[in-house]
């Protein structure tokens, strides 16, 4: 396969992940349970997972560009850092048993 064709496949995969993440976020915002799950009958994807996937796919899409500039590298790093920080915050919540309120916001509960 040519590198141009592989680049197009990569862009399509990244775009699919981004659109899927946006759909999950829309499901949480508009309370549409069908949009919160990847497949019917499975557990819902949490909003922080969707944001992380969007950030990582955006980073990959920027890096898949044939001309990498300092700006594009910086953008890719920023997108990756968003996912990293979100992951560290989520992991610290589980390890320290801290409730930041994100899950109650996702479920629509009020405190």
At 109 the pLDDT is 46
- The contacts of residue 107 (CB under 8 Å, 6+ apart) are none
Give residue limits of the domains in the chain.
3-107
pLDDT, one tens digit for every residue, the chain (111 residues): 788 888 889 999 999 999 999 999 999 999 998 899 878 888 999 999 999 999 999 999 999 876 889 999 999 999 999 999 999 998 998 899 887 665 544 555 443
pTM above 0.85, yes or no: no
- Residue indicated by tokens 């990756």: 80
At 66 the pLDDT is 67
Alpha carbon 31 to its chain's center: 19
């Amino acid at each position: 396969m040519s590198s141009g064709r592989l680049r197009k496949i990569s862009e399509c995969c990244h775009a699919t992940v981004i659109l899927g993440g946006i759909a999950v976020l829309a499901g949480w915002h508009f309370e549409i349970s069908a949009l919160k799950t990847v497949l019917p009958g499975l557990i819902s994807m949490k909003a922080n997972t969707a944001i992380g996937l969007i950030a990582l796919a955006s980073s990959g899409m920027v890096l898949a560009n044939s001309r990498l500039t300092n700006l594009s590298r910086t953008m890719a790093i920023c997108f990756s850092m968003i996912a990293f920080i979100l992951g560290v915050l989520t992991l610290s919540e589980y390890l320290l048993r801290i409730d930041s309120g994100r899950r109650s916001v996702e479920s629509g509960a009020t405190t």
